[in-house]
Amino acid sequence: MFRLSAPTRSTLKELTTLAWPVVLARLGIMTMGLTDAIVVGHYASRELAFHSLAWAPSSVVLTTAVGLMMGVQVMTARLRGEGRGDEVGAVLRRGMVYALQIGIISMIGLMLLGPFGLMHMGLEDGLGEGASPVLMVFALSMPAYLISVAAQFFLEGLHRPKAGMVAMWVANAVNLALNIVLVPDMLGIGLHGAMASAWATFGARTALAIFLVIFILRLPEARAWGLFAKPKRDRSVEVEQIRVGIGAGSSNFIEVGAFAAMTLFAGQLGAAETASWAVVINVSAIVFMVPMGLSSATAVLVGRAYGAGDRAGVMRSGLLGIGVVTVLAFIIAVGLWLAARPVVSAYTTDPAILAIAAPALVLATLFFVADAQQVVAAQANRAAGDVVWPTLMHLLSYGIIMIPLGWWLAHRMGVDGLVWSVIVASLISGVLLTGRFLRVARRAPMVKTAG
């Protein structure tokens, strides 16, 4: 009878204990977008197209910025593995400064360039004009959201993710309440549809940031972590925190930028195709939050083992993360394949959109497993000190292959062509990044024992 070794059982228990609240927190992120899409979609299909097109460029900037904050999580876990818990406060302090700087720059960039881009992308008449003001509101919420991300990553790096999970779902309740009231203009203030939903998102993100910052500052350990004391300069930690963030941010930019390009290609096909692709990619993104959560949990365990000089622990944590996410993604893919039409019906009752989106969602289940494997493997690589190669592999898979393939197939097969391009890119990325992790883990440093 097959039995797991004691270290493997221990790591698996830690992984699941850390992963479930992180997964629920990540699902909370996408549930906020799901709430927006469902409420706006039932209000008007064209408003859903406005929302989707506004979200496309803002999601590129947002996801890139979130990746730039990843150094908070990884370096918190590494310092904890090295027994330097009194220095983790400095990681968060730097992270908060980065969050404000990146958030303000991102906000200004989106407000200045986003509407111009939407108006010059060859979209169907009226779509760019309708999406531009929605994009401006999304941009305003960038600084607050990145502050909340830094706080969540810090708590996850300390193996304390439950507070972030609770805060995220409280923010979802705020978002839902605001959507219900604002989207149909129940207050009679002339604000409705996609624009109203964007303001609901702004309110929810601001509430999330305020809650998490207050929670961390009130923790009994906050002073012991060095949160209230000016930290001593540690150039190596500072550089590595930035380095990890740049690597993750670059990968996120490439991947989400490629998916935003798919949305723009759908916009070139028409409003029905744009709304249909919005449904497919929104459902797929919700599913993706499960491997995203597991990738964060895996990165924390790999980073801690790497900081402790435990090569076997690095390999064990990474492979367990990839193995667990493979099983979960397969189960989700089968379930969604069987329930595709009812799921699409939750977004819209428009027959034209149902006819396009339902079969496309069935097809999309083919990339769930590979997509899950690649994101966990990428985070495991970064936590083990490999920053450059995951970015290059994402560039190849999603930038060089998926974007031109998606454009070519979209104009021959419609939305199904966009889905096929994602399937090909995810398979390539999953194979390359898993193979890279095996190589990196074998070369991870070990602590030499005396004797």
Question: pLDDT, tens digit, for every residue of 273-332?
Answer: 888 888 898 788 888 888 988 998 898 899 888 888 888 889 999 999 999 999 999 999
Q: What are phi and psi of 221, to 5 degrees?
A: -85, -5
With cut-offs at 50, 70 and 90, classify the pLDDT of residue 348. Answer: confident
Q: Give the CA count within 13 Å in the CB-facing half-sphere of 451.
A: 3
Residue type, 71: G
Rounded-to-integer distance, Cα 6 and Cα 10, Å = 6
- Euclidean distance between the first and final Cα of the chain, in Å? 37
pLDDT at residue 413 above 80? yes
- Looking at residue 449, what is its pLDDT? 40
Mean pLDDT value of segment 228-235: 79
* DSSP-based helix, strand, coil % in the chain, nearest 5: 85, 0, 15
pLDDT at 451 over 60: no
pTM above 0.85, yes or no: no
- Average pLDDT of every residue of the chain: 86
Higher pLDDT: 72 or 35? It is: 72
**Predicted pLDDT of residue 85:** 79
Provide, rounded to the nearest whole percent, the portion of the chain with pLDDT above 90: 37
User: Is residue 450 predicted with pLDDT exceeding 50?
Assistant: no
Q: What is the pLDDT of residue 124?
A: 66
Find the mean pLDDT for residues 345-355.
Answer: 83
C-alpha span between 118 and 249 (Å, rounded): 23
What digits encode the pLDDT tens for the residues 169-217? Answer: 999 999 999 988 888 877 777 777 788 888 999 999 999 999 999 999 9
> Average pLDDT of 234-259?
85
For 52, what's the count of Cα atoms within 13 Å in the CB-facing half-sphere? Answer: 36
| Cα within 13 Å of Cα(97), Cβ side | 8
What is residue 260's predicted lDDT score, i.e. its pLDDT? 78
d(C-alpha 52, C-alpha 172), whole Å: 19
Segment 64-91 shows an average pLDDT of 85
What's the pLDDT tens digit per position in 129-185?
778 888 999 899 999 999 999 999 999 888 888 888 999 999 999 999 998 888 887
| Most confident range, picked from 29-33, 218-222, 253-257, 403-407 | 403-407
CB contact at 8 A, 85 and 79: yes
pLDDT, tens digit (0-9, with 9 covering 90-100), for 358-389: 899 999 999 999 999 999 999 999 988 888 89
